[in-house]
Structure 1
């Protein structure tokens, strides 16, 4: 007599963990009045920073290609595109354009609490499009923004090896964030929010191989569009798995070699991920920021002419080399992921802003010469926001610049004043000073805005 066969566990058999549903229920029930004042203030900061980044990229050649393509293929004039003189695109096309603009210069916010995620570009691009679909006040937008942040970051924390698989998290987790935030903005119930997360997650994509190309920021735009589409479908009864995050073939298991489903709902309502967001003072990959801070410090403190520098020894976290180890970038976009380039312009120019990551600066003779002086080593003991630069001059003098926490991170945050200066500088590319200041003033009192379309109109 043969032994009884073991019970077959099919790929989509229910686990009954309820993680996606717990997250969705929290989002559906979240109200502006539930939010601590510090979280509301962080939402203002996040919106201000992202709008500035989008306006700064509005004149980039990449956007001309994208917008010309939409014009050639046809797109209904429904939702506005920031900084484009009143141009409107379809309800699912405008998020692509705005999401791409927000992330195009790699100047947008970055959450580093277990993930490296540019949450605002996909999330806010989806929310602003849907704010044209139905009247939305600032308070509802803030609640939706917070909701999307929770969903995107927590999904990433529950999939700790997700980045190691080569996925670009802004495209994958960004879709989840946008879907959850859009569902909250539309006032969907817990079941519909669950389905919106599932519909968004099943569309999630974006590969790290495309760093330094126009595709990287397209990931943010497509994630925004996928999230908006997911919420609109869910509102009409389109469904998905109720266990899309934690299921046997759910997001955190197939997009990551390890899964920690308990992290999805851990501390919901007690810890808000938006309050741990970071903002970029430098227009490049965030893991480069510690070494840039160190090189700028050397620029000011050492003052050694470039031709009198023998070499610069950089110690960085291994993650910095893994993500940004481009030795010879051939374009401005690619130079945003080059340690040698970033270290060179930071020392030569004393800055690492938009001007330091153009095609022209990527091929400049002084930058090319200084790149050869940079020697990089990794330090496992370092945190991701830590670095050290040591400059050795030809005459033997040595200068050291250790950075414990990069500027703009949670442990070394940008002040409101610094964030506003960044915004005004970015917005000046597309708006005059008076208009830029009007936008900033309106965002600093975002919860008092009764119709988001009035704010968006200032940004067109």
Structure 2
């Protein structure tokens, strides 16, 4: 006789994948982490706080805060960059998580999974850290654990992105749930459940690129993760095979399932050590061509009217993710190859200002966009591009990019990352306070109570 459970398809497979991942995360100890991993965590915290504060005055955040004010809840956790404002313990992660991802300036893991891990994870952790004292060492250990869970879940579902899911919303929830469990000091079984509770909330669709919803995915993932950890701490349960089960994440969120990759190299390969950081405020797959266009702008030194056309060669992923020809807003322009190539050449950079509503409709940008011709090269890496400028007088200029700035193979230095942070924060909180925050983050593992850092950023 076939049991109803087996017929439904949730009978245990006994692969032990989620259990092993949960046990590993619960067992992460700061003192056992490699020095390079700890330092990468400091870098990630610094970069994310800067990205969140840079977006703190955006209209999207005003709408979110006005809505939460209307709903009303006990003010227990700070909103970054809002003069000490506190909102609900589960609402603050939504706002802070959305701020972190709103400008598309936040870090991106590209080691087989394209994931903005820090926005959901750190927004969840900072909210949970306001319940009771949490040391900087424990925050780092939890942050590292979140990276392991989020990226590895993605490796177990290799066709997940192809299905139209926005990985920061889906994998971000898993990452935040695991990180929250580690921060609260949950045991292996509770962490297993926290991962399950977070995973069953995983959501976010690529159709919402270029809208306010895209960054909401990061906030909701932070909220889901924080809730999952709090529930698991009180005995709330879930499937213990949420990742690998017959109806688990890797089976139903992807047409290909490789759950064995989730635990491959646990404790030997640290995913946060393969993180990347953005020098430009747009989709990561645009960064190679932006590097190339800036190089052309500097080397050719030709005015726009002397440029006949630009021939761009990129990885197919760049067109698939960012092939918006005529963006009508700043948020949408972050997903336009033509726009990014144009502002990179015209302005010599691609920062926050280049993806404003005003710049997306500027006359010089609109005139330059038709000059950009894009072809894809299957053999290219995702961080590779080649740009050729053909001048009106027939001269040609070439700019090959093997690895985009900010990627693991062409990383941003600590100094460059700090310059980005100070540039993002100085106008929001003032240069002196920005400097104090940076100093506090570089010494994060010496911090006894993370709330000191949160208040400084609020």
> What corresponds to 2:207 in structure 1?
209
Are 1:434 and 2:456 matched, yes or no?
A: no
Deviations 1:44-94 (A, max 9, x none): 000000000000000111111110111111122100000011111101000
> What corresponds to 1:361 in structure 2?
359
SS in 2 for 1:103: helix
**Alpha-carbon distance change, 94 to 6 in structure 1, aligned in 2, over 3 angstroms:** closer
Using the alignment, how far apart are the partners of 1:57 and 1:5 within structure 2? 55
TM-fit CA distance, 1:429: 3.0
Using the alignment, how far apart are the partners of 2:241 and 2:209 within structure 1? 31
TM-fit CA distance, 1:408: 0.1
> What corresponds to 2:407 in structure 1?
409
Q: 2:90 aligns with which of 89, 92, 104?
A: 92
Deviations 1:405-446 (A, max 9, x none): 000000000000000000000012311101000000000010
CA contact (8 A) 1:63 1:101 kept: yes
> What corresponds to 1:48 in structure 2?
46
Are 1:380 and 2:378 matched, yes or no?
A: yes
> What corresponds to 1:23 in structure 2?
21
> What corresponds to 2:344 in structure 1?
346
> What corresponds to 1:137 in structure 2?
135
CA contact (8 A) 1:56 1:428 kept: no
SS in 2 for 1:59: coil
Are 1:271 and 2:272 matched, yes or no?
A: no
TM-fit CA distance, 1:304: 1.1
State how 1:53-452 maps to structure 2 within 5 Å.
Answer: 53-452=51-450
CA contact (8 A) 1:50 1:102 kept: yes
Using the alignment, how far apart are the partners of 2:445 and 2:16 within structure 1? 33
Deviations 1:352-380 (A, max 9, x none): 00010000000000000000100000000
CA contact (8 A) 1:283 1:353 kept: yes
- Number of paired residues? 457
Using the alignment, how far apart are the partners of 2:340 and 2:2 within structure 1? 60
**Alpha-carbon distance change, 167 to 458 in structure 1, aligned in 2, over 3 angstroms:** same
Using the alignment, how far apart are the partners of 1:118 and 1:34 within structure 2? 25
TM-fit CA distance, 1:5: 9.6
Deviations 1:250-297 (A, max 9, x none): 001100000111111111111100000000000000000000000000
Deviations 1:30-55 (A, max 9, x none): 10011000000000000000000000
SS in 2 for 1:372: helix
Using the alignment, how far apart are the partners of 2:81 and 2:2 within structure 1? 64
- Kindly report the root-mean-square deviation, in angstroms, between the aligned alpha carbons of the 2 structures: 1.2
CA contact (8 A) 1:66 1:97 kept: yes
SS in 2 for 1:132: coil
Using the alignment, how far apart are the partners of 2:195 and 2:209 within structure 1? 26
Using the alignment, how far apart are the partners of 1:37 and 1:150 within structure 2? 17
Deviations 1:110-146 (A, max 9, x none): 0001111000000000000000011100000000000
Using the alignment, how far apart are the partners of 2:144 and 2:379 within structure 1? 33
| TM-score scaled by length of structure 1 | 0.98
CA contact (8 A) 1:326 1:339 kept: yes
TM-fit CA distance, 1:395: 0.2
For structure 1, the 5+ residue unaligned runs are none
CA contact (8 A) 1:314 1:377 kept: yes
SS in 1 for 2:261: helix
CA contact (8 A) 1:55 1:429 kept: no
SS in 1 for 2:130: helix
SS in 1 for 2:49: helix
Using the alignment, how far apart are the partners of 2:336 and 2:427 within structure 1? 25
